[in-house]
A = this chain, B = another copy of it.
Amino acid sequence: MKKDRKTIYEARAKIIKAMAHPSRLLIIEELHHQERCVNELTEMIGADTSTVSKHLSVLKNAGLVSDEKRGNCIYYNLRCTCILDFIDCVEEVLTANAEDQKNIMKACKR
Contacts and interface: CB of A to CB of B under 8 A. Distances in A.
Interface string A60-94: 00111000000000000001101101111111111
A8 to B, nearest CB: 9
Interface residues of A, number: 42
A1 interface: yes
A87 B46 contact: no
Copies in the complex: 2
Given A6-B22, A12-B94, A62-B93, A45 B1 contact: yes
Contacts of A20: 13, 16-17, 19-20
Interface string A22-52: 1111100000000000000000111000000
Nearest to A24: B13
Contact of A80 (B17, B62, B96): B96
